[in-house]
Amino acid sequence: MSTSCTHIVPVHTGDYPEDEAKAMEVLAWFQARGLVETDLSDCTLGKPGYRFTPEIGPLFIEAPDPRSQDLLTRGLELHHGERVVFHPAEGAQLSFICPSCGHDQGWDALESIGDWYSRVEDCPRCPACGARHHINEYGTDCGGTDTPWAFSNLAITFWNDQGGAFQPGFLEAMRGLFGTDIRVVEVHI
């Protein structure tokens, strides 16, 4: 089994308010359902996280391979505080399509993404038509056929869930918790 992770990221402008409190609320949602262990452990490749229990299985359309429960890296990581660019694996394509004119600036958008990350400018200008849009309004998923990029100071990351697509009901619950639309960013390492 290869290592992978999946970010679930709220879609919003500015910074997500009271991000640490919201991360704790999402963690409480998982813990109340027995989906993760109570205590932090070294179960992710990022910060310490909360190890998945076998109860995590029903969040997915197809149940994860039971052997995945033995993986050392398998748990939930919380992100809050710093802004993070959540993107698919290295080698992935970047499309960055203007919602006004449809121009795709591709990798040239890295400068705009850097400006968002360093809080210089949240609303980059399209080089083709000159319109400004919030970074989240540019299309990064090739019209729905590719993994989107996501931009936030708040997210949760599933490490090595080995479960494939999430159940629609789970994604709806996450939209409700965040109070926003969400993006699911799958990363293969």
**List of residues contacting Zn ion (CB under 5 A):** 98, 100-101, 103, 126, 128-129
**Shortest Cβ 3–Zn ion spacing (Å):** 38
Q: How far is the CB of 11 from Zn ion (least distance, A)?
A: 20
Minimum Å gap between C-beta 155 and Zn ion is: 28
Q: How many CA atoms lie within 13 A of 75 on its CB side?
A: 23
Cα separation, 60 vs 166, whole angstroms: 4
Q: What do you get for the CA distance between the two ends of the chain, in Å?
A: 11
Nearer CB in complex with Zn ion: 36/126: 126
User: Of 33 and 103, which CB lies nearer to Zn ion in the complex structure?
Assistant: 103
Of the pair 96, 116, the CB lying nearest Zn ion is at: 96
Q: Which is nearer to Zn ion, 96 or 166 (CB)?
A: 96
The torsion defined by the Cα of 120, 123, 127 and 130, in degrees rounded to 10, comes to -120
Distance CA 178, CA 12 (A): 10
Q: How far is the CB of 120 from Zn ion (least distance, A)?
A: 20
